[in-house]
Amino acid sequence: MSEFSEMLESYVTTKKVNKYQMAKYLSIDRSSLHKIIQGQRNAPSKDLVKRMGKYLELSPYETSELLELYSISLVSPERYYRRKNVYSFLSSFHAQPLKIEMPGFQKSDFQIQDKEVVPFSGTRQSLEYLIYHLVTKENENGKGMIKFLGTPQLPGFSNMFPLIKGKTVLRHILSFSKYDSILEIRDDHNFQSLSQIISLYAQFANRGVRYETAYYYGTDFSHSAFPPFPYMIVTSQYALSLSGDYQNGLLYKDSETVNYLNQTFDALYEKTTPLLVPIQDLTSQLALNQKIMSCKSDSEILFQLVPCLVPFIQKIDIRKYLLDDMAQKEYFISAFTTYIQNLIHRHEQIHPLHFCSLNGIRRFLEKGVFDEFSTDFYRPLDKVDRKKVVQQFLKYAYIYDLRLLREDLGELSNGLKVYLSDSLGYIQFMSSDGNVIVLTLENPNFLSSFKDYFESMDEDLYYPKEEALILIQKLLNQY
């Protein structure tokens, strides 16, 4: 029996339900209800499970719990929770800088003693104070580097590291887990770490801070490089080793030990795999797109609320929208024209799965900007050309497996885009100052989690393609 059928049987037994009457209420025969309760057959739909909840007089929480167990029974706990984590990432993603709340430090929180090795044992506030001290000291160097081995769950990670200023580099190594239990999969600290790290990229984008991330899986090599503590923060002047719960550690100040730990960290970094590689200039962005088109792939997935409209500007004169002082304008026009032609040809061959929303199309018609590119080299399209672009999108809609979402998944203002192929992906979003940030992603587990979520999305969440095209045309007629 599945957990769903076990819970359902428990409610039916506890409430002494007459199964014949319940089956009549549900409009199914008694035999079918018996098989569902015994786990011999799946319930045919969520609607039926909701009606079961009503008949059993379950509370909203109990009904929600029963529905979740029903959803798990249709796939597997692992796939269900991975899909849930992807949904949570997309729906809650926030690219705007967070407000940094500075703790009210006291002199007694932690004293940086005049010793070569200082034992650390203290509260969360003490640790935040210590990290604050290390960050501000390294910022004073002008071109410093902070090296961090650990997870974003570190107390002070969201508050203290965003204080890093331009020209100071943050190099971050994460240890990812290979999960053995459903509870670990449900909580999925790997995916939580990815979400927090992407948010930190958004924090750094406006200040020009270089953030380098790499990972390894916990069993890939031993933590013995840093005995006896598995977590480390290293700067040019200090090295802080921390226990797994961040409650105890040692602060090293002597130059010989600090240099040794810097070298040890660098050697470890060489063995890791890059997690996210940022691309923040137009030339590199076009180069990435060309790389993608040179890679063989049997499938592609595009998720962006404002749809992929760049391929459909071939009917307008892009010259009149490029800024007068744009560098290498002719080279860009040539490269961009080739890119568009290749992109359409590729999409005609692959027929990508394309998720977007009606509000996203409305946003383009109102603003005339492409979320794929920063607006520092072109002006917004005029209203006539905006309509031409959307008309071309409708004309070429046959090349996509179009999924027009019934409701926005996430905030339009983030400009979030997720691109996935068989072996490569990227996450793109817009920073608060209008710059587009592209983070390439090649981790196989994250790629497969995103792909599985999009390929299995509930059909109720998007319009049938024929209806979607009619709705887009009606929206276009309003402009």
Going residue by residue through the chain, which has 479 residues, state the pLDDT in tens, using 9 for 90 and above.
789 999 999 999 999 999 999 999 999 999 999 999 999 998 889 999 999 999 999 999 999 999 999 999 998 888 899 899 999 999 988 776 555 555 555 554 556 667 788 888 877 788 888 888 888 888 887 788 999 998 888 877 777 777 787 788 999 999 888 776 666 777 788 888 888 888 888 778 777 788 999 998 875 444 445 545 678 999 999 999 988 888 888 999 999 999 999 999 999 899 899 998 888 777 788 788 878 888 888 899 999 999 999 999 988 899 999 998 888 888 888 888 888 888 899 999 999 999 999 999 999 999 999 988 888 889 999 999 999 999 999 999 999 999 999 999 998 888 899 999 988 899 998 877 777 888 998 888 899 999 999 999 989 899 999 999 999 999 999 99
Is-contact 246 231, C-beta < 8 A? yes
C-alpha to C-alpha distance for 297 and 282, rounded to whole angstroms: 24
| Integer angstrom CA distances of residue 100 from 36, 148, 162, 200, 337 | 51, 20, 8, 12, 43
Ramachandran area for residue 434 (φ above 0: left; ψ -120 to 50: alpha; else beta):
left
Instruction: Compute how many other C-beta atoms are within 10 angstroms of the C-beta atom of residue 271.
Output: 12
Is-contact 89 197, C-beta < 8 A? no
Walk me through the domains of the chain, giving residue ranges and CATH numbers: 3-74 (1.10.260.40), 117-274 (3.30.870.10), 279-477 (3.30.870)
pLDDT at position 222 is: 44
Residue 256 tokens, joined? 């010989």
Closest CA to 424 of 309, 303, 305, 297: 297
Is-contact 318 333, C-beta < 8 A? yes
Residue 38 tokens, joined? 């015994």
pLDDT at position 112 is: 65
Q: Please give the model's pTM, rounded to 2 decimal places.
A: 0.84
Residue 76 tokens, joined? 């597997």
Residue 117 tokens, joined? 């090795």
Strand extents, DSSP E, 155-238? 169-176, 211-217, 231-234
pLDDT at position 221 is: 45
pLDDT at position 109 is: 52
pLDDT at position 428 is: 92
What 3-state DSSP class applies to 148? strand
Q: At residue 17, what is the residue type?
A: V
For tokens 């993603």, the residue is 93
Please classify residue 469 by burial: count the beta carbons closer than 10 Å to its beta carbon, then call 0-12 exposed, 13-18 middle and 19+ buried.
middle
pLDDT at position 290 is: 79
C-alpha to C-alpha distance for 465 and 403, rounded to whole angstroms: 7
Q: Would you give the DSSP letter of residue 243? A: -
Is-contact 17 26, C-beta < 8 A? no
Q: At residue 414, what is the residue type?
A: N
Q: Tell how far CA 289 is from the center of its chain.
A: 20
